Structure 1
Amino acid sequence: MALQEQLDRFKKQQQKCQSTLTSIAASKAATSKKSTPTVASALANGKTPAPAVKFSNDTERLQHINSIRKGPVGAQMKRVIDLLLETRQAFTPEQINEACYVDMKSNKDVFESLTKNPKVHYDGKRFSYKSKHDLKDKNQLLYLIRKFPEGIAVIDLKDAYPTVMEDLQALKAAGQIWLLSNFDSQEDIAYPNDPRVPIKVDDDIKQLFRGIELPRDMIDIEKDLQKNGMKPATNTAKRRSAAQIQGISSKVKPKKKKNEISKRTKLTNAHLPELFQSLNNS
């Protein structure tokens, strides 16, 4: 009798397990049927279903955006100006927010500062980059440089358009401009080279210029410049006194004499006799 009761209980447990498994399978089938039309419709429209965003990746992105928007006003302005400079396009505040995460609608300080920035142009709707000189190509660049016979700083031209520096080098190579350094500011200056005014220097003037022997000591050179009303770009006396205070030797190194070949010079290049044939016959 006890054995029969155990068998009945066992059969009831099996029936419960079977019904549970059947209900689980039915629920899974219903879920797959609901999701299948969505995927099928996306594929039919030629769209690839968007991949699921991992929670960790989304958290990092939100933290990055939050750090930008809580950053200093100057840092946010730099992000916007860099965007405008690199793209050379006009952006609305909403487009700027999407591109570099600077929300100017929520931050009035950033918005007002950008509207007053000399490098930014705001037409009431969009922001764009504003260079000092509105140039588009090499022809306009050359035309502008010719307006400044006393020279124009390259730093005022370098942000005119993306390829302006390459065009400056091309104009220099073509002999249409000069690029010289300013000793006071150590900046390059662009000068026009007008082909209508050719300058020819006589050979005797060139030889006279090259034949002038400069003093060996830099202090003497600076004194000569001052006597002629020019300001030296260096101050050797001040530099040497500072070096002496710091215990650094400031002795002027004597120039080495150039090795000159004479009759007394021992010729060791025996494998090149033709180079010294004229010297040995003299």
Structure 2
Amino acid sequence: MSLNEQLNNFKKQQVKCQSTLSSIASSRAAHPPSSSSRRPVPAAISQKPLAAAGGPVKFSSDTERLQLINSIRKAPVGAQMKRVIDLLMKTREAFTPEQINEACYVDMLANKAVFDSMRKNPKAHYDGRRFSYKAEHNVKDKKQLLSLINKYPDGIAVIDLKDAYPNVMEDLQALKASEDIWLLSNSQEEIAYPNDFKCDIKVDDDFKALFRDIEVPEDMLEVEKELRKNGLKPATDTAARRAADQKHGVLMTKSKDKKKKKKQEISKRTKLTNAHMPELFQSINASSSRN
């Protein structure tokens, strides 16, 4: 017998029982028994509100649950799978198909399509008996989370870490606060980087030479113009700022001499702060060797 037929039979039995009890209550109200022939009656029949009102009696609150079960099992396969995955993700426990049916009313044994789809789902792990949630990365606590991030010097997407375990986002913020990691975001996603200066990052000599050959304009208007030419939005608006200064009577002082400043010769007395780039100080080493 299908679930719909069981539900209909249940409703018919409720109506029949309600009619019987209502007639009994009416009969007792019309012909009250004498004290000598009074017999004990069930508490549900002897209640005064039932006899007085004579209205419908609600015998069970199970009807709504049966209707919910029916709607869930008639839902598409994808909707039933989502209920199961939500259950596995929230609890982080392993469930047999019978336990899943009790917890979220998805009968995987009766619906082969749901069962087979769950076995193939990348977010579910099936060991032959139980289903459990399968996260993108198998980490369980903050220590394991930090160890995982340290394995990705180029960064790891936070969206791939969100389902690792329930409080993973709180641990990410705690690692950021303790400066164990960096959390940086671009226009599309947030990336977690290890805060480890021991990472060996090599830069090609051609790239270094290209960087040093770039001449930055002295006037910020020219800098902003070049940024816009390359499709970048400047963080400053020098033209607007200067117009506002002129409006309020602020004198603009410009150097008439636009010649480039000669690079200062590095001497032996110069304090070296870029010791990691020795090629910048070849002139010092040469002069020292001559002396």
**TM-score interval (norm. to shorter):** 0.5 to 0.7
Q: Give the aligned partner of residue 117 of structure 2.
A: 113
Q: Give the aligned partner of residue 255 of structure 1.
A: 240
Structure-2 change in CA distance of 1:107 and 1:224 (3 Å): same
Q: Give the aligned partner of residue 97 of structure 1.
A: 101
Q: Give the aligned partner of residue 174 of structure 2.
A: 170
Is 1:213 matched up with 2:220?
yes
Summarize deviations over 1:242-280 as a string: whole Å, max 9, x none: xxxxxxxxxx9x735576599968xxxxxxxxxxxxxxx
For residue 220 of structure 2, what is the amino acid of its counterpart? E
Contact 1:90-1:126 at 8 Å conserved across structures? yes
Summarize deviations over 1:124-158 as a string: whole Å, max 9, x none: 11111000111011111111111111111111111
> Where in structure 2 are the equivalents of 1:9-48 lying within 5 Å?
21-22=33-34, 25-27=37-39, 29=40
Q: 1:146 and 1:138 mapped to 2: Cα distance?
A: 12
Deviation of 1:189 (Å): 1.1
Q: Give the aligned partner of residue 194 of structure 2.
A: 192
> Where in structure 2 are the equivalents of 1:56-205 lying within 5 Å?
57-183=61-187, 186-196=188-198
Contact 1:176-1:195 at 8 Å conserved across structures? no
TM-score with structure 1 setting the length = 0.56
Q: 1:73 and 1:24 mapped to 2: Cα distance?
A: 65
Q: 1:83 and 1:118 mapped to 2: Cα distance?
A: 15
Q: 1:126 and 1:173 mapped to 2: Cα distance?
A: 39
Q: 2:243 and 2:158 mapped to 1: Cα distance?
A: 40
Structure-2 change in CA distance of 1:115 and 1:261 (3 Å): same
Q: 1:121 and 1:261 mapped to 2: Cα distance?
A: 69
For residue 72 of structure 1, what is the amino acid of its counterpart? P
Contact 2:124-2:133 at 8 Å conserved across structures? yes
Contact 1:149-1:192 at 8 Å conserved across structures? yes
For residue 255 of structure 1, what is the amino acid of its counterpart? A
**Which ranges of structure 2 fall in alignment gaps of 5 or more residues?**
1-30, 44-56, 202-214, 251-291
Structure-2 change in CA distance of 1:115 and 1:180 (3 Å): same
Contact 1:177-1:192 at 8 Å conserved across structures? yes
Deviation of 1:165 (Å): 0.8
For residue 75 of structure 1, what is the amino acid of its counterpart? A
Could you say what secondary structure the match of 2:87 adopts?
A: helix
Structure-2 change in CA distance of 1:172 and 1:91 (3 Å): same
Summarize deviations over 1:171-226 as a string: whole Å, max 9, x none: 1121111112244xx01111111054699xxxxxxxx99x8837697x8535336x
Q: 1:193 and 1:142 mapped to 2: Cα distance?
A: 10
Deviation of 1:22 (Å): 4.9
Contact 1:181-1:188 at 8 Å conserved across structures? yes
Q: 1:66 and 1:216 mapped to 2: Cα distance?
A: 67
Contact 2:109-2:115 at 8 Å conserved across structures? yes
Summarize deviations over 1:9-38 as a string: whole Å, max 9, x none: xxxxxxxxxx993599443x3768xxxxxx
Q: 1:138 and 1:94 mapped to 2: Cα distance?
A: 34
How many residues matched?
Answer: 191
Q: Give the aligned partner of residue 224 of structure 1.
A: 230
Deviation of 1:56 (Å): 6.4
TM-score with structure 2 setting the length = 0.55
Q: Percent identity?
A: 61
Structure-2 change in CA distance of 1:25 and 1:79 (3 Å): farther
Q: 2:175 and 2:183 mapped to 1: Cα distance?
A: 10
Q: 1:20 and 1:148 mapped to 2: Cα distance?
A: 86
Q: Give the aligned partner of residue 279 of structure 2.
A: none
CA RMSD of aligned residues (A): 4.0
Contact 2:125-2:133 at 8 Å conserved across structures? yes
**Which ranges of structure 1 fall in alignment gaps of 5 or more residues?**
1-18, 33-52, 200-207, 226-231, 235-251, 266-282
> Where in structure 2 are the equivalents of 1:233-248 lying within 5 Å?
none
Q: 1:24 and 1:111 mapped to 2: Cα distance?
A: 65
